[in-house]
Structure 1
Amino acid sequence: MFATRIFQAFIFIACLSVALQSDHHHESVKCTHLESTRESILIVGLVSALVFCFVGVLPSFFIRADTDNEKFVDSTVFKLLLAFAAGSLLADVFLHLLPETSTGISESQAIRNGLLTIGSFLVFLIIEKVTELVPDAHALGTLNLIANFLDNSAHGTTVVGAFQNSFKFGMVALIATVLHEVPHEFSDFALLLRDGYTRKRAVIAQLITAFAGTIGATIAYAFTTNLDSSNSCNHNQNIYLRENQFQEHLHDHHQHHNHGHGSFIVPFTIGGFLYIALVGIIPEIVKEENKRTSFLQILFFIIGISFIFCLTQFETIMAHYFM
């Protein structure tokens, strides 16, 4: 039923987008068109958020409700899942996020991004040290939730911005984002279980971080709405020009994350992912004494890297083919 509702929403958005595009090429821009555009952006943002929520709880369907958490964490399958998580996190940093933040920027911006990443790493270290002082706290799980909350918020902003540019561009961005999120969500679920979360609490935590996509989508929608300082049709042309400028801005945000909040969120997320992978997961892999398990962990680490690499290449192909 949930998947059916999402499919129906996508069909509605597709029909609405086609109707909007038929008026987009006219020189006379009408107020009703602008209102419909904003409504479609809001709908797209909410549907995208629902998709993120579904992806967030997807790992729970592969783990039985009566599974013993302690036994599962000690199992070989779980250790391999952690290795896959480390590989996918590092690959996402070096093959996906870093290229987006380092393309077409000045040296001063690159230094700023580097400082933000280092600062993020330090912040996560401080958070873990403080969390260790709290009884029954879950340090790594908490850090992972923070990083993913920021990451999903950026995703929500980017996807809505892409739909503001065009429906086709938005679909490419949404599909690419979901494909990137699927391996991450499995990794996140594994980290939460490792940190002592029950299956139910892990699902709730995943839903909370997935809800960040709604926040990002709302920010993008609110920014679009605020561009319209007048509801009068006498200012249609000025509104249209400002909306085109906003489309360009969000297109650049999707391409490089070099404007506004994106320039802060992405480097900060990079630092968080690096900390989780290098400090939280890799030491666990290094401590493994069983030779067979160690070999399989290295293999799954490479698989995690390869998986993200293939998704990144697929995203590039989709962008060139559909744009």
Structure 2
Amino acid sequence: MSSLSYIILASLAGGVLSLLVAAMVAFSASAALVPVLVSYAIGALLGAAFLEILPHALKEGASVSIVSATLLAGILLFFLLEKLVLWRHCHTTACEAHAPQQPGHDHGRSGLMITIGDTFHNFVDGVIIAAAFLTSVPLGMITALAIIAHEIPQEVGDFLILLHSGYSKAQAFALNLLSSLATLVGGVLAWYALEAVHGWVPFALALAASSMIYVAVADLIPGLHRRAELGATLQQVLLIALGVASIVATEHLVGHLA
């Protein structure tokens, strides 16, 4: 097979296989457990942003100041995007989007934010897969396996956030499927113009990290404070730690695969 054929197959596998595994895990949870498991999603998002995505952006050769500035700009961008979502729903403070939120529903805002950020991340995964296959086929296969491994816990978190945000299971799957196709787009574009696309990788990674940090801190963590009792707090802390640990574990697996 040609290198482009390998890139297309690996990009589809990297996006779709991790999506299917994550969907099985997330959808097996009962509806009552979804708000509880949001704590796990917070840990997975923050772990992926700080322990996997941002370090990778710095390894791509960008300076700390450029990555930090892009991260800050991304957080402000997602703040404005969330405002636009609110304004789209209504133009007065009497609108339901301004009313106190019901537990487990935020009118789709955090789900939309995380989908946008995950699309950036998936696009970068495609660029990485293409670069690996253009080096050698074995390296490309190892890279694709590593991407599937590190995507699964993050995709589980994304599904939980979409369900928590008010999307149905079918809608959550469709949004994640569309987002995963960005891996294929990134892989094909990188095959045609790797040098030009590769220069944008640190910026795309920093934007992906900013969406995860923003959703976790601005949209999800405030909801945890509605349950202030000691038992609930301990449960939340443990699940957040589990989310972070799942990212650390998959990074350790990726290191062995490499």
**Is 1:123 aligned with 2:77?**
yes
Is 2:153 the partner of 1:183? yes
For the Cα contact (< 8 Å) 2:45–2:154, is it kept in 1? yes
Match of 1:203 in 2: 173
Select which of 147, 158, 164 maps to 2:134: 164
Contact 1:93–1:273 (Cα < 8 Å) also in 2: yes
User: Which one-letter code corresponds to 1:126 in the other structure?
Assistant: L
Matching residue's letter, 1:274: I
Which residue is 2:65 aligned to? 111
Q: What is the identity, as a one-letter code, of the residue corresponding to 2:74? A: S
Q: Larger relative CO (CA 8 A, sep 6+): 1 or 2?
A: 2
In structure 1, runs of 5+ residues without a counterpart are: 1-15, 17-38, 225-248, 254-258
Q: Does structure 2 retain, via aligned residues, the 8 Å contact 1:95–1:309?
A: yes
1:43–1:169: structure 2 CA closer, same or farther, 3 Å change rule?
closer
The equivalent of 1:52 in structure 2 is 15
Residue in structure 2 matching 1:299, options 238, 245, 250: 238
- Superposed displacement of residue 54, structure 1: 3.1
**Is 2:111 aligned against 1:141?**
yes
Q: 2:202 aligns with which of 245, 260, 263?
A: 263
Find the aligned partners of 1:292 and 1:79 in 2 and give their Cα distance.
Answer: 15
Aligned to 2:93: none
Q: 1:121 to 1:146 in 2, by over 3 A?
A: same
Distance 1:308 1:60 in 2: 17
Equivalent residues in 2 for 1:280-291, closer than 5 Å? 280-291=219-230
Alpha carbons 1:57, 1:206 under 8 Å: kept: no
Q: Residue 95 in 1 paired to residue 65 in 2?
A: no
Shift of 1:286: 2.4
Question: Does the 8 Å CA contact 1:159/1:170 hold for their aligned counterparts?
Answer: yes
Residue 220 of structure 2 aligns to which amino acid in structure 1? I
Return closer, same or farther for 1:157/1:313 CA change in 2, 3 Å cut-off.
Answer: same
TM-score normalised by structure 2 residue count: 0.84
Structure 1 counterpart of 2:100:
none
Give the alignment partner of residue 308 of structure 1, picking from 241, 247, 252. 247
1:105-157, Cα deviation, whole Å (9 max, x unpaired): 47xx3211111110000000000011012228621111111000110010011
- CA deviation vs aligned residue, 1:164-194 (integer Å, no higher than 9, x gap): 1112221221111111111111111111111
Q: Report the alpha carbon displacement of residue 104 of structure 1 after superposing the two structures with TM.
A: 7.6
Which residue identity lines up with residue 217 of structure 1 in the other structure? Answer: G
Give the TM-score taking structure 1 as reference length.
0.68
Contact 1:45/1:159 (CA < 8 Å) preserved in 2? no
Aligned residues: 241
* Alignment partner of 2:120 out of 150, 173, 181: 150
1 CA distance for matches of 2:19 and 2:128? 18
Distance across 2 between alignment mates of 1:299 and 1:191: 18
Per the TM alignment, residue 290 of structure 1 is displaced from its structure 2 partner at its CA by: 4.3
Which residue of structure 2 aligns with residue 214 of structure 1? 184
Answer with 1 or 2: which has the greater Rg. Answer: 1
Contact (CA 8 Å) 1:82, 1:187: kept in 2 or not?
A: yes
